[in-house]
A and B are shown apart, each in its own frame.
Chain A
Amino acid sequence: MTQADVSFRRGLRLGAGFASVPLLLSISFGVVAVDAGLSPVQAVVMSALVHAGSGQFAAISVFGAGGGVVPAVLASGLTNSRFLAMGIAVAPSLPGRPWSRAVQGQTVVDPSFVMANRHDGTFDRWLLFGAFAPQYAGWFTGTVLGAYGGDLLGDTDRLGVDAIFPAFFLALLVAELRRPETRWVALGGAVIALALVPFAPPGVPILAAALAALVALR
């Protein structure tokens, strides 16, 4: 077995451990998308093509509130702007022609980004791909369940599903915090983000939090 196979399998295993959460989250996405006026087919196609949960929720909440297509697309772009920073981070670890790198870059999602990080400035790209696969499968399957079976659930807030999203990212954060040098940076990011919440559009506080990592330039 080559090193690529080993990494890919390891990624699959790690990603599978997290896949139950995208499954739960995307069930609620399917419900919300249909409530906002998409057909079940459209909700499923959106998850298949986009696969960036927070951006999809942002787009749907603007669209569902009657905000129109362009503002909804922009809201998703801002919410997903953190992937710009992540894409720059993984770029040196992705070989090949530009179009091939563009395709490889699509496998960056929050858990795969965290798991593939070697913490020496490089990323294990096969682990990235492996960790992405179960995330994608979970996200797709959950959207199907939510879009077609959402009527069975009723009021999802009452069920506490809004705790899933932050708890999921907290699991990824705690894994990072095991390394002491990340702690002040994480705190800095949290403070920057919270300070910007009242003033900036959703998503921008998260991208701005990435600036906390610039402390490494000292």
Chain B
Amino acid sequence: MNGWLLIAGVALLTAAIKAAGPVVLGGRELPARFTRVVGLLAAPLMAALVVTSALADGRHLQVDAATAGVVVAGVLFWRGSPVIVGVLAAVVVTAGLRALGAP
């Protein structure tokens, strides 16, 4: 029962979060300053997602085998590797380091 409540709650809240901007501001011309901010938005959001998932666990900062795997993926992406290649490399490096005893 609680599981279904959880699903309903998360589904409704997520849909509302995604709908808010388009409903309130949709289809309108916005000032040029706004559009410059919008053009830059993806970079800090993605950077934040990367560092909080690769360098932190919950509320504390930590470096572990996955961090090394992600660094390897970054080098591959920068050199033009397809997404799946970099991601699999990250997984293999992480699993390999753990097999050798890394955290």
Q: Is B100 an interface residue (CB 8 A)?
A: no
Would you list which residues of chain A between 166 and 218 have a CB under 8 Å from chain B?
A: 166-174, 176-177, 181-183, 185-190, 192-194, 197-199, 202, 205-206, 208-217
Q: Are A96 and B73 in contact (CB under 8 A)?
A: no
Choose the segment among A5-13, A49-57, A140-148 that binds chain B (4+ C-beta atoms closer than 8 Å).
A49-57
Q: Are A87 and B21 in contact (CB under 8 A)?
A: yes
Q: How far is the CB of B30 from chain A (nearest CB, A)?
A: 5
Q: Are A81 and B17 in contact (CB under 8 A)?
A: yes
Would you list which residues of chain A between 69 and 90 have a CB under 8 Å from chain B?
A: 69-70, 72-73, 76-77, 80-90
Q: Which residues of A contact B15 (CB under 8 A)?
A: 102, 106
Q: Are B46 and A173 in contact (CB under 8 A)?
A: yes
Q: Are B94 and A168 in contact (CB under 8 A)?
A: no
Q: Which residues of B contact A83 (CB under 8 A)?
A: 14, 17-18
Would you list which residues of chain B between 40 and 96 have a CB under 8 Å from chain A?
A: 40-56, 58-61, 65-66, 69-70, 73-74, 77-78, 82-84, 86-87, 90-96
Instruction: Known contacts A101-B26, A160-B65; decide if A108 and B40 are in contact (CB<8 Å).
Output: no
Instruction: Known contacts A50-B11, A110-B49, A190-B51; decide if A77 and B6 are in contact (CB<8 Å).
Output: no
Q: Are A187 and B47 in contact (CB under 8 A)?
A: yes
Q: Is A104 an interface residue (CB 8 A)?
A: yes
Residue of A nearest to B38 (CB): A89
Q: Which residues of A contact B13 (CB under 8 A)?
A: 73, 76-77, 80
Chain A residues within 8 Å of chain B by Cβ, number: 104
Q: How far is the CA of A188 from the CA of B55 in the complex (A)?
A: 16
Q: How far is the CA of A39 from the CA of B6 in the complex (A)?
A: 12
Q: Which residues of A contact B46 (CB under 8 A)?
A: 110, 114, 169-170, 172-173, 176, 186
Q: How far is the CB of A217 from chain B (nearest CB, A)?
A: 6
Q: Which residues of B contact A137 (CB under 8 A)?
A: none
Q: Are B77 and A170 in contact (CB under 8 A)?
A: yes
Q: Is A150 an interface residue (CB 8 A)?
A: no
Instruction: Known contacts A92-B30, A98-B26; decide if A213 and B56 are in contact (CB<8 Å).
Output: no
Q: Which residues of B contact A82 (CB under 8 A)?
A: 45, 49
Q: Are B48 and A121 in contact (CB under 8 A)?
A: no
Q: Which residues of B contact A163 (CB under 8 A)?
A: 54, 65-66, 69-70, 73, 87, 90-91, 93-94
Q: Are B39 and A55 in contact (CB under 8 A)?
A: no
The residue that B87 contacts in the complex, of A21, A106, A214, with Cβ under 8 A, is: A21
Instruction: Identify 5 new A-B residue pairs, CB closer than 8 A, beyond the known A77-B14, A169-B46, A202-B58.
Output: A85-B41, A92-B30, A92-B35, A106-B18, A160-B95
